[in-house]
Amino acid sequence: MQTLIENINVVNPFDEVKSNQNVLIEDGLIREIFSGKISVKNNVQLIDGEDNYLLSGFIDCHTHIFAKGFHKEENMANPLGIHFYNAVPHASQTINAGVTSIRDCGSADLSFKLAQQRKLFPAPKIYLSVVPLVMTGGHFDLLLPSGFDLEIMYPGLPKGRCDGVEEVLKKTREVKRAGADFIKVMCSGGVLTTNSSPEFPQFNKKELKTIVNEAKVNDMKVSAHCHSLKGMNNCISAGFSSIEHGTFIDKKTSKRMVEKDVSLVPTMLVHQFLYENGFPAWDNYAEEKTEKLKEIVKVHKENISTAYEEGVNILMGTDSGVIPHGHNLEELINLVEIGMSSDEAIASGTVKAAEFLGQDNLGLVKENYVADLILVNSNPLDDVSVLGDTDNILNVFQDGVLIK
């Protein structure tokens, strides 16, 4: 099956826009990009691009596709099936926002990956962490002071809690067995968790190094949820591949990340969105959380700007699932505000993200690249904010198939 997208402008970061182009797709790949006539099969699917702008589909490097706010109360009240059914509308919202691949940092399991591959419903391709590793009493340890454990459990899903070298070694193996593509570790407290603080590190250096060494045996990267400056430095020393959030990062730590080739996924959107839109009325800690976010939003952006100036490899991620899905590309606005050009911001969610995932034929509109593409009604290199409005994302293609 061939698909021919006619009359479009091809957009790639760090390249001139190529106008009046046609793109021929076959077997899920971009076969030719040309401006003249070409011989095609009789049953080719023709799509008139109407002089709109074609660019690579985006990769959100930090999502939680099953999650709907991580409200423990809902975990208590809902039957387990809701945990899985939520993924269907979340996937649709993500696709409609122009995101064709995601890196899930905890909650989604192998079932979602298989469902996407089998085309059971429209969904982004997924890179799994399954469950994050968390120390007793750490961020995402959902055992409450009451003694009730609100961590979602079912056959095939490992529990994330572990302590000491032997336990973290075994847990890393369990998560790999459950289908993980990479390992996620909670290496500091969270901004919004009530039993931990974001400035303090979690897990000790021996535990962190054990996790990395075991992951490397399987050629897996290790990612750190980390706001803490000391926690980030512990992770850099241990050999982590990425820091997620990085709220309190400074110039010295940024330099170390550059030296050790550690990427940063800042997820600035999540704190800003929650500060502006608030929490559910029944959240007893809503006022406390909002007050905490007021300062965090400001500090986070200032510090990520420092990291950018020092040359840290920054990737686009949103923490969607903590906030509603479908707002993903609004993060590009934040990336521009910390100093990135439009080209750099778009690259952070396309070709740079693909490189980080080890995909060398994804993230550009280029011959022999995977045809994960979006068609937009104006040039995002002039103004990335157009990508934040899903109405401007006219079409989405995944492996050359039109899914929006």
Range of 37's domain? 2-57+363-402
* Co-location of 205 and 344 in the same domain: yes
* Co-location of 267 and 374 in the same domain: no
Q: Is the pLDDT of residue 279 over 90?
A: no
* Co-location of 391 and 263 in the same domain: no
With pLDDT > 90 as the criterion, what percentage of the chain qualifies?
81
Among 326, 341, 356, identify where a domain stops. 356
* Co-location of 158 and 106 in the same domain: yes
* Co-location of 313 and 391 in the same domain: no
User: 205 or 38, which is more confident?
Assistant: 205
* Co-location of 193 and 253 in the same domain: yes
- What does the radius of gyration of the chain's CA atoms come to, in whole angstroms? 21
* Co-location of 132 and 205 in the same domain: yes
If DSSP codes are grouped into helix, strand and coil, which group holds residue 87?
helix
* Co-location of 367 and 349 in the same domain: no
What CATH number is attached to the domain comprising 168? 3.20.20.140
Among 321, 337, 356, identify where a domain stops. 356
Least confident of 71-85, 203-217, 326-340, 351-365: 71-85
* Co-location of 252 and 379 in the same domain: no
* Co-location of 17 and 120 in the same domain: no
Q: Which secondary structure element, helix H or strand E, spans residue 294, and what is its range?
A: helix 286-309
Q: What's the pLDDT tens digit per position in 223-252? A: 999 999 999 999 999 999 999 999 999 999
Q: Is the pLDDT of residue 189 over 90?
A: no
* Co-location of 66 and 52 in the same domain: no
Query: Taking the model in full, what pTM does it have?
Result: 0.95
How many domains does one find in the chain? 2
pLDDT of the residue at 304: 98
Angle at alpha carbon of residue 132, lines to 229 and 158, rounded to 5°: 155
What CATH number is attached to the domain comprising 376? 2.30.40.10
* Co-location of 7 and 140 in the same domain: no
Q: Do residues 17 and 48 touch, judged by C-beta distance below 8 A?
A: no
d(CA 222, CA 170) in angstroms, rounded, equals 15
